[in-house]
């Protein structure tokens, strides 16, 4: 399989609607994990360990190749403080994708592998005429990471691993209306479209299995600053009144978006051969995301920069999930997660209408003979209803966004195929 | 394997079901009238109540008057029909309005009145061809049902009550906007007080008094000898008139409503759009002037003195089209206001000099005290427009991600005349009324979305 062509073919698919974890983070990296609350740091289930804890890869019994795809379907409702009817999204379905190939000697202590996944992304298209249109009408944020990974079992109880995390593809498309109208009442519109520089970060993990019944893991993924440089970022305007054209001449933009580091701890418990339970905690260093700053090569409404406060706070996600082997072929899974929002009160933006999230997961795997298996998963995420008032926005200096109440639910069915040897 | 496929398709079916039930719904906010009764809302006021904008009264402006926006929100809580004194469809442009034709090379807006040279817009005006004794052109009489919006552009407290001037000036014969609402026989005899006394409101708003200082201020502190209502109204007669008006519209304190006060002239783009410093800088930078660096802006004060303008003087919006123009008999490049030695200082009517400004401010404060006291006397809540616009002038006023301010043209809130609000500005005002109403009357009237109302439309 030609990795590059796969990436290019997949690149338009590799996004997630409304992100399925806090902020614009997406945690849909492993199809088995997706069925059990997203736990995995303290487990050695399959090749997806490269994402969750590269240290656990050496303890994965089989070598193999696996792919997974998820359909993220978000449904939102919004009511503005200054406005009437309920606004919804122009519904879209997007499909985060993952691919893992793990290799190594069958009896050796080394394992190596390559992973392709999409840890950050977002796609939201608001219905025409919604109250927040001067903040945002559409956003598509895509990222594809490629991660070559090695793992080594120091003893039969302790293993370590690390990977190079490569931002192989990143793109952003942001659109909003400009609050100027021509004599016919048409409203201006601006679109920013860019691709990010390639960047390299790392992840690393350690995995310890003191007994058959207990395993512990820890992992860390570094921050990567996704940077769209001016030559890769295009600005285009439409419906700008002729008399104001000199105030809207920008052609290019430059922006940096931090994709924050994550530290994770996990515990795996295996009371019987057939039952595995995982408990994870992720700590995401969102506080690096202070503000979103665009620099333009010409004026946009008279200004050549745009600064918008974000002031995210570090956030924790707690996960609990398990699997039970019903028959020799069939394994069932269930789990849940609670995701504390990194977005403070009065800082909610239309591009990330975030709130604390409760996720419930179900999943199953079926093995066809020795080598081939299918994993299905279903995830339901309920975002807490969240209201911010114009008074809060004014006191925070965040009046570039809209006051009102958001409520979002997300359903994510997914399916994966694996071949082990 | 078939069993598995059946099972998984059943699971997928369940997911589909989950998805159709996934769309969240937020309950519409409850609109409750509280202790108020909006079944017959009547608005009393001047041009700001009538919906006057961009230098004229016309149907689109009337439709976007704050009382009409309010009535639409009231309708969600038991509000009744709201009749507006519209012009006939074929005279929809009423008194006409400024046309925004673009910017000059130096970035000044080109704003043209109906019939002004170069104005490419065609208007459907409502003038009858007759002239009133005040010299103003008569507008076609309104023939519809008794309106709920009783706003009369130009009216002040002093001109509302004939008794205050001993019937000296029959206002129905002077003001074309009151003229068009009164039957011909009543124009010489019925004053505004009598006119509003005929209404039977269940709820009212009253925003009067601005013209008791603003007419004087916008004329650069020059009262017209032919117009008895062009000075600063004295506090005695204002107090008498204001209390009478509130007593009348509240039916002796039995009708609920809101009273609004007088905004400060310094928060209005008509007086802030052309700062003295900017005018002087542009004169000093004018390469066509001999000795431009030594030139400055000179004004004639209300007291008759000629002196250099300072930051304490406010130039009117109209001054920008006068400064630097040819003085009769004196050829360019020596234009109006450029020099103290020539007989061409900027005439007094284009500048509210520091003394005049102080007088206007003092009187505004005095009149607002009367308004505040009267409101408390009748247990009617006060919408402090003065404080509101002070805040907006200082901090701006953002809504739904749009930054608004009191800046001329770019601020969205004021219309092309720099004094009256744009439709969006009127929607903002309606929301601030709602805030006061909801607090006082324990109602929950929802806010309007100002972004649905137009600000300045650019060519």
Q: Do A368 and B448 touch (CB under 8 A)?
A: no
Q: Do A402 and B451 touch (CB under 8 A)?
A: no
Using alpha carbons, select from B163, B174, B156 the residue that is nearest to residue B233: B156
Q: How buried is B414 (Cβ within 10 angstroms: 0-12 exposed, 13-18 middle, 19+ buried)? A: buried
Residues of A in contact with B28 (CB under 8 A): 79, 85-86
Mean of all residue pLDDT scores within chain B: 90
Contact status of B44 with chain A (Cβ, < 8 Å): no
Number of domains in chain B: 2
| Mutation site, B14, B398, B448, interface A, largest A CB count within 10 A | B398
Q: Collect all residues with Cβ–Cβ distance below 8 Å to A13 and sequence separation of at least 6.
A: A69, A94, A95, A96, A97
Place of tokens 């394992």: A111
Q: Which residues of B233-263 are buried (b: 16+ CB within 10 A; e: fewer)?
A: beeebbbbbbbbbbbbbbeeeebbbbbbbbb
Q: How far is B1 from chain A (nearest CA, A)?
A: 8
Place of tokens 């570094």: A222
Q: Do B102 and A132 touch (CB under 8 A)?
A: no
Contact status of B98 with chain A (Cβ, < 8 Å): no
Determine how β-strand A64-70 pairs with β-strand A97-103.
antiparallel
Rounded to 10°, the helix B354-377/B211-218 angle is 170
Q: Do B22 and A411 touch (CB under 8 A)?
A: yes
Q: Are residues B397 and B336 in the same domain?
A: no
Task: Compute φ and ψ for A396, nearest 5 degrees.
Answer: -90, -5
**pLDDT confidence bin for A8, thresholds 50/70/90:** very low
Give dist(CA B450, CA B429) in Å, integer. Answer: 9
Give domain limits for chain A.
3-420
Secondary structure in 3-state letters for chain A = CCHHHHHHHHCCCCCCECCCCCCCECCCCCHHHHCCCCCCCCCCCCCCHHHHCHHHHHHCCCCEEEEEEECEEEEEEEEECCCCCCEEECCCEECCEEEEEEECCCCCCEEEEEEEECCECEEEEECCCCHHHHCCCEEEEEEEEEEEEEEEECCCCEEEEEEEEEEEEEEEEEEEEEEEEECCCCEEEEEEEEECCCEEEEEEEEEEEEECCEEEEEEEECCEEEEECHHHEEEEEECCCHHHHHHECCCEEEEEEEECCEEEEEEEEEEECCEEEEEEEEEECHHHCCEEEEEEEEEECCEEEEEEECCCCCEEEEEEEEEEECCCCEEEEEEEEEECCCCCCCCCECCECCCCEEEEEEEEEEEECCCEEEEEEEEEEEECCEEECHHHHHHHCCCCCCCEEEEEEEEEEEEEEEEEC
| Mutation site, B22, B75, B424, interface A, largest A CB count within 10 A | B22
The DSSP annotation for B120-135 comes to -----B-EEEEE-TTS
Beta bridge partners of A272: A275
Give dist(CA A20, CA A359) in Å, integer. Answer: 9
Q: Are residues B238 and B306 in the same domain?
A: no
H or E stretch including B385? helix B385-395
Q: Which CATH code is given to the segment(s) A3-420?
A: 2.40.160.60
pTM of the model: 0.90
Using alpha carbons, select from A53, A172, A28, A67 the residue that is nearest to residue A111: A53
- Structure token digits, residue A354: 């975030």
Residues of A in contact with B448 (CB under 8 A): 82
| Mutation site, B10, B24, B101, interface A, largest A CB count within 10 A | B24
Closest partner CB to B4 (pick from A86, A241, A366): A366
Contact status of A334 with chain B (Cβ, < 8 Å): no
- Structure token digits, residue A54: 């590269």
Contact status of A402 with chain B (Cβ, < 8 Å): yes
Q: Do A82 and B431 touch (CB under 8 A)?
A: yes
- Structure token digits, residue A185: 């009442």
Contact status of B75 with chain A (Cβ, < 8 Å): no
Q: Do A132 and B29 touch (CB under 8 A)?
A: no
Closest partner CB to A402 (pick from B26, B400, B452): B400
Give dist(CA B151, CA B50) in Å, integer. Answer: 4
Contact status of A128 with chain B (Cβ, < 8 Å): no
Contact status of B457 with chain A (Cβ, < 8 Å): yes
Residue of A nearest to B103 (CA): A243
Give dist(CA A217, CA B428) in Å, integer. Answer: 57
Q: What angle do CA B259, B262, B268 make, to 5 degrees?
A: 135
* CATH code: domain of residue B104: 3.40.50.1110
Q: Collect all residues with Cβ–Cβ distance below 8 Å to B436 and sequence separation of at least 6.
A: B258, B381, B382, B383
Contact status of A306 with chain B (Cβ, < 8 Å): no
Q: Do B400 and A134 touch (CB under 8 A)?
A: yes
Determine how β-strand A233-238 pairs with β-strand A224-228.
unpaired
Would the ipTM clear 0.90, i.e. be above it?
no
Using alpha carbons, select from B249, B261, B263, B239 the residue that is nearest to residue B378: B249
Q: Are residues B346 and B378 in the same domain?
A: no
DSSP B443: -
Contact status of B17 with chain A (Cβ, < 8 Å): no
Q: How far is A181 from chain B (nearest CA, A)?
A: 5
Contact status of A301 with chain B (Cβ, < 8 Å): no
Give dist(CA B336, CA B349) in Å, integer. Answer: 13
How many CB pairs (< 8 A) connect A and B?
122
Q: How far is A83 from chain B (nearest CA, A)?
A: 4
Contact status of B107 with chain A (Cβ, < 8 Å): no
Q: Are residues B234 and B131 in the same domain?
A: yes
Task: Compute φ and ψ for A55, nearest 5 degrees.
Answer: -65, -25
Q: Do A86 and B29 touch (CB under 8 A)?
A: no
Give dist(CA A329, CA A366) in Å, integer. Answer: 5
Task: Compute φ and ψ for A42, nearest 5 degrees.
Answer: -100, 15
User: Helix (H, G, I), strand (E, B), or coil: what is residue B315?
Assistant: strand
Q: What is the pLDDT of residues A135-162, one digit of tens each?
A: 999 999 889 999 999 999 999 999 999 9
Mean of all residue pLDDT scores within chain A: 90
Handedness of CA B426, B431, B432, B436 (dihedral sign): positive
- For residue B287, the model assigns a pLDDT of 78
A217 and A265 Cβ atoms separated by less than 8 Å: yes
Residues in chain B: 459
Place of tokens 């706070």: A313
DSSP B286: -
Residues of B in contact with A79 (CB under 8 A): 26, 28-29
Q: Provide the domain limits for residue B420.
A: 41-267+354-452
Contact status of A241 with chain B (Cβ, < 8 Å): yes
Q: Are residues B173 and B246 in the same domain?
A: yes
Task: Compute φ and ψ for A139, nearest 5 degrees.
Answer: -140, 135
Q: How far is B108 from chain A (nearest CA, A)?
A: 11
- Other C-beta atoms closer than 10 Å to the C-beta of A101 total 20
Residue B141: inside a domain: yes
**pLDDT confidence bin for A278, thresholds 50/70/90:** very high
**pLDDT confidence bin for A92, thresholds 50/70/90:** confident
C-alpha dihedral, B4 to B5 to B10 to B11, nearest 10°:
70
- For residue B225, the model assigns a pLDDT of 76
Residues of chain B with pLDDT under 50: 1, 4-5, 331-333
Q: How buried is B143 (Cβ within 10 angstroms: 0-12 exposed, 13-18 middle, 19+ buried)? A: exposed
Q: Do A83 and B403 touch (CB under 8 A)?
A: no
Q: How far is B168 from chain A (nearest CA, A)?
A: 45
- For residue A7, the model assigns a pLDDT of 31
Place of tokens 């029909």: B81
Interface of A with B in 68-87 (CB under 8 A): 73, 75-86
Q: How far is B17 from chain A (nearest CA, A)?
A: 11
Using alpha carbons, select from A160, A157, A170, A126 the residue that is nearest to residue A55: A160
DSSP B10: H
Q: Are residues B60 and B157 in the same domain?
A: yes
Domain boundary among B352, B379, B401: B352
C-alpha dihedral, B452 to B456 to B458 to B459, nearest 10°:
110
User: Helix (H, G, I), strand (E, B), or coil: what is residue B45?
Assistant: strand
Determine how β-strand B203-207 pairs with β-strand B256-260.
parallel
Interface of A with B in 172-191 (CB under 8 A): 179-185
Residue B20: inside a domain: no
Residue B136: inside a domain: yes
User: Helix (H, G, I), strand (E, B), or coil: what is residue B297?
Assistant: coil
Residue B196: inside a domain: yes
- Lowest mean pLDDT of A41-45, A336-340, B105-109, B256-260, name the range: B105-109
User: Helix (H, G, I), strand (E, B), or coil: what is residue B99?
Assistant: strand
Q: Are residues B445 and B336 in the same domain?
A: no
Domain boundary among B352, B381, B398: B352
User: Helix (H, G, I), strand (E, B), or coil: what is residue B151?
Assistant: coil
Q: Are residues B128 and B209 in the same domain?
A: yes
Residues of B in contact with A80 (CB under 8 A): 400, 449
Residues in chain A: 421
Domain boundary among B337, B352, B367: B352
């Amino acid at each position: 399989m030609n990795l590059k062509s796969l990436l290019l073919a997949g690149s338009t698919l590799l996004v997630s609607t409304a992100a399925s974890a806090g902020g614009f983070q997406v945690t849909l990296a492993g199809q088995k994990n997706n069925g059990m609350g997203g736990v995995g740091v303290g487990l050695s289930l399959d090749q997806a360990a490269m994402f969750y804890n590269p240290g656990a890869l050496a303890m994965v019994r089989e070598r193999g190749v696996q792919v997974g795809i998820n359909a993220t379907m978000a449904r939102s409702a919004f009511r503005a403080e200054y406005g009437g009817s309920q606004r919804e999204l122009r519904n879209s379905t997007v499909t985060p994708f993952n691919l893992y190939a793990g290799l190594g000697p069958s009896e050796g202590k080394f394992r190596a592998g390559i992973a392709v996944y999409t840890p950050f992304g977002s796609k939201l298209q608001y219905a025409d005429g919604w109250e927040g249109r001067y903040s945002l009408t559409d956003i598509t944020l895509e990222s594809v990471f490629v991660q070559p990974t090695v793992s080594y079992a120091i003893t039969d109880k302790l293993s370590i691993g690390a990977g190079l995390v490569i931002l192989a593809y990143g793109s952003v498309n942001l659109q909003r209306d400009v609050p100027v109208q021509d004599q016919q009442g048409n409203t201006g519109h601006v679109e920013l479209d860019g691709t990010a520089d390639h960047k390299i970060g790392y992840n690393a993990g350690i995995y310890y299995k003191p007994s058959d019944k207990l395993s512990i893991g820890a992992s860390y993924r570094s921050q990567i600053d996704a940077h769209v440089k001016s030559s890769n970022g295009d600005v285009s305007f439409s419906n700008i009144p002729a008399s104001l054209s000199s105030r809207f001449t920008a052609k290019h933009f430059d922006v940096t978006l931090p994709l924050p580091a994550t530290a994770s701890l996990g515990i795996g418990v295996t009371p019987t051969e057939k039952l595995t339970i995982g408990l994870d905690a992720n700590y995401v260093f969102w506080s690096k995301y202070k503000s979103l700053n665009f620099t333009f090569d010409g004026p946009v409404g008279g200004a050549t920069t745009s600064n918008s406060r974000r002031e995210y706070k570090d956030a924790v996600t707690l996960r609990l999930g398990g699997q039970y082997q019903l028959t020799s072929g069939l394994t069932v899974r269930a789990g849940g997660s609670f995701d504390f929002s990194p977005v403070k009160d009065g800082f909610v933006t239309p591009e990330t209408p975030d709130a604390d999230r409760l996720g419930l997961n179900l999943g199953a795997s079926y093995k066809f003979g020795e080598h081939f298996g299918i994993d299905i998963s279903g995830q339901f995420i309920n975002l807490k209803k969240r209201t911010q008032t114009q008074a809060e926005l004014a006191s925070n200096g965040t009046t570039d966004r809209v006051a009102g109440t958001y409520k979002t639910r997300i359903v994510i069915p997914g399916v994966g195929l694996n071949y082990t040897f | 394997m078939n069993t598995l496929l059946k099972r998984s398709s059943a699971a997928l079916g369940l997911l589909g079901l989950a998805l159709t039930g996934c769309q969240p719904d937020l309950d519409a906010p409850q609109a409750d009238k509280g202790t108020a009764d909006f079944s017959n809302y009547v608005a009393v006021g001047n041009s700001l109540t009538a919906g006057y904008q961009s230098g004229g009264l016309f149907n689109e402006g009337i439709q976007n008057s704050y009382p009409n926006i309010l009535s639409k929100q009231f309708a969600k809580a038991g509000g009744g029909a709201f009749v507006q004194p519209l012009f006939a469809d074929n005279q929809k442009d009423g008194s006409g309005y400024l046309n925004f034709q673009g910017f000059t090379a130096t970035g000044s807006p080109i704003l043209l009145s109906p019939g002004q040279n170069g104005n490419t817009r065609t208007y459907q005006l409502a003038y009858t061809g007759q002239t009133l004794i005040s010299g103003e052109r008569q507008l076609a009489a309104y023939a519809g049902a008794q309106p709920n919006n009783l706003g009369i552009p130009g009216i002040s407290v002093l001109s509302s009550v004939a008794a205050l001037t001993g019937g000296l000036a029959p206002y129905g014969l002077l003001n074309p906007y009151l003229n068009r609402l009164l039957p011909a026989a009543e124009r010489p005899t019925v004053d505004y007080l009598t006119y509003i006394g005929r209404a039977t409101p269940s709820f009212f708003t009253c925003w009067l008094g601005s013209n008791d200082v603003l007419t004087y201020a916008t004329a650069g502190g020059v009262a017209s000898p032919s117009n008895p209502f062009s000075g600063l109204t004295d506090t005695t007669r204002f107090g008498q008139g204001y209390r009478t008006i509130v007593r009348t519209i509240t039916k002796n304190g039995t009708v609920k409503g809101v009273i609004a006060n007088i905004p400060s002239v310094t928060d209005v783009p008509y007086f802030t759009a052309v700062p003295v410093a900017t005018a002087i800088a542009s004169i000093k930078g004018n390469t066509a002037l001999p000795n431009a660096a030594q030139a400055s802006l000179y004004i004639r004060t209300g007291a008759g003195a000629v002196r250099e303008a300072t930051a304490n003087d406010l130039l009117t919006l109209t001054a920008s089209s006068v400064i630097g123009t040819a003085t009769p008999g004196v050829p360019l490049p020596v234009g109006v206001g450029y020099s103290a030695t020539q007989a061409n200082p900027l005439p007094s009517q284009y500048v509210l000099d520091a003394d005049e400004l102080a007088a206007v401010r003092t009187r505004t404060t005095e009149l607002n005290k009367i308004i505040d006291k009267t409101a408390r006397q009748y247990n009617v809540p006060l919408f402090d427009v003065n404080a509101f616009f002070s805040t907006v002038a200082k901090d701006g006023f953002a809504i739904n991600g749009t930054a608004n301010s009191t800046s001329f043209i770019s601020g969205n809130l004021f219309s092309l005349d720099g004094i009256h609000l744009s439709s969006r500005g009127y929607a903002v005002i309606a929301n601030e009324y709602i805030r006061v109403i909801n607090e006082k009357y324990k109602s929950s009237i929802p806010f309007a979305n100002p972004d649905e109302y137009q600000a300045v439309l650019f060519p």
